[in-house]
Amino acid sequence: MELFRLEHKKLWRKNSTRICVLLCVFYCVVFGSFLVFQWITYGSTKENYSGNNFDGYENIRNCQAYVRKYGVLTDESLQEWVRDCKRLFAQLDEERKTQGAENQETVHKVENSDLHTVNAWLRTLYPDLERADMLGVSVMSNYVETEKLTGIYERREKAVDTFFEINNQTGAERDYLLRINEKVKTPFSWGWTEGWSNLLGSAISELGFSLAIFFAVVLSALFAGEWHDNTSALLLTTKNGWKKLATAKILTGVAFTLELFAMVAAGMIVLQLVYFGTEGWDMPIQMIKMIAIAPMNMLQAEIYEYAFALLGALGYAGVVMLFSALCKNHVLALLLSLAVTYGPMAFHERVPMWLEKAFDLLPLVGSGADVFRTNTYHIFGHYIWSPYLIIWVPLLIGVLCLRPAVKGWARRMRG
């Protein structure tokens, strides 16, 4: 324990470690959460659409209040929303004609209505009502015939089935996915969806991609840095021996990974609670993507995505420490570590599907947003929904890297 404490203190005393932690917290918490919530994404639109105001907290409350009145997603509430939307667009048109410009208050009401989310539902569930001559001219809710918006949940089941067919997911795979989908309960509660969509679709699901570079910089020097600092000869004379020292270094790497992740996650969650509160946590994730099959609400999906990022980070830490142990040059260890994550990401959509799925199993390469998808793996004659698999395999890869890291470093030390 004393050896671990000394190695841990040594790691945190490095300027590179402290700089990485500060940059990571600033990027993920200050820029990625606070400024996004207060200004970049959720601030109300300035006059003439010249940017956003610094009023995200108030604007988010207005968005939540606007949608709250619909309560539950039914044919009637959807029709009511479309009628409200049409009235707002008609009001905008009238203001342009009489005043030459829109009233900013009306513009804000349109933006606060969850416009883009609901129009995505309409395109998914009512493709037969979409008009080709209106594409790119007006949103669907502005011209769709309101009385034809019926049978929303039957339409959803049909849309899911159609997606399976288009995606060539038939036979046993289709039956397997439908069994998961059967657990989705209706009707859906309806609250402000856009905020949850951004959180689960990008902010949390892409957290691992953002953390990877900081983990790589710090942990790649954990073993290889001893050669750079010319302390390898001194280490050979210590009473603890290379095995105990290697174990202490690995525990230090794991501890640092948990500490940095905890700081970032805690900051993001606190700001989320400040700006979003807990409203909408019980909405099903189908309110974000209607053809999602996961029987999860927003809170469950968020917990899954944070767990996915944490386990992926621990797996990635194991890979980085292996490279650090095998390379005398910590720069080479850093480049190899970055290549493990960012290399597959660069070619992710340019390779065959089987290779793309293989990439998703690597630490911090896949995405927690797979809970919205229907990807599967076919293993030993059985189908496995991707979120069940991609959350554990990266951690397993990292664990399997630890023993070779100890042995690899030992061979280099003795050599």
Q: DSSP per residue over 165-232, as a string?
A: HHTT--HHHHHHHHHHHTT--SSEE----HHHHHIIIIITTTHHHHHHHHHHHHHTHHHHHHHHTT-H
Say whether both 291 and 249 belong to one domain: yes
Tokens of 42: 């959720």
Phi-psi category of residue 127: left, alpha or beta, with phi > 0 → left and psi -120 to 50 → alpha: alpha
pLDDT at 137: 82
Mean pLDDT of 215-221: 96
Q: Is the pLDDT of residue 414 over 80?
A: no
Q: Among 189, 210, 239, where does a domain finish?
A: 189
Any domain includes 45: no
Any domain includes 409: yes
pLDDT at 234: 43
Say whether both 208 and 135 belong to one domain: no
pLDDT tens per residue, range 77-130: 999 999 999 999 999 999 888 988 888 999 999 999 999 999 999 999 999 999
Any domain includes 47: no
Mean pLDDT of 389-396: 98
Q: Is the pLDDT of residue 237 over 90?
A: no
Q: Is the pLDDT of residue 346 over 90?
A: no
Least confident of 12-21, 42-51, 64-73, 183-192: 42-51
Say whether both 280 and 340 belong to one domain: yes
Say whether both 160 and 248 belong to one domain: no
Any domain includes 252: yes
Q: Tell me the pairing of strands 188-189 and 72-73.
A: antiparallel
Any domain includes 48: no
Tokens of 89: 């667009």
- Domain boundaries, position 91: 56-189
| pTM for this predicted structure | 0.95
Any domain includes 51: no
Instruction: Give residues with Cβ within 8 angstroms of 47, minimum separation 6.
Output: 104
Say whether both 243 and 330 belong to one domain: yes
Q: Among 189, 207, 223, where does a domain finish?
A: 189
pLDDT tens per residue, range 115-125: 999 999 999 99
- Is residue 211 packed enough to be buried (19+ CB in 10 Å), middle (13-18) or exposed (0-12)? buried
Q: Among 155, 170, 189, where does a domain finish?
A: 189
The number of folded domains in the chain is 2
Any domain includes 46: no
Say whether both 226 and 261 belong to one domain: yes
Percent of the chain with pLDDT over 90: 83
Q: What is the CA radius of gyration of the chain?
A: 25
pLDDT at 411: 72
Band the pLDDT of 61: cuts 50, 70, 90.
very high
Q: What is the DSSP letter of 32?
A: I
Cis peptide before 187 (omega within 30 of 0): yes
Band the pLDDT of 49: cuts 50, 70, 90.
confident
Say whether both 255 and 110 belong to one domain: no
Helices 56-68 and 241-276, axial angle in degrees (round to 10):
60
Any domain includes 156: yes
pLDDT at 227: 65
Only one residue has tokens 């720069």, namely 331
Say whether both 176 and 324 belong to one domain: no
Say whether both 230 and 347 belong to one domain: yes
Mean pLDDT of the chain: 93
Say whether both 240 and 323 belong to one domain: yes
Any idea how long the chain is? 415
Say whether both 255 and 216 belong to one domain: yes
The answer to whether 320 touches 221, Cβ cutoff 8 Å, is no
Say whether both 224 and 289 belong to one domain: yes
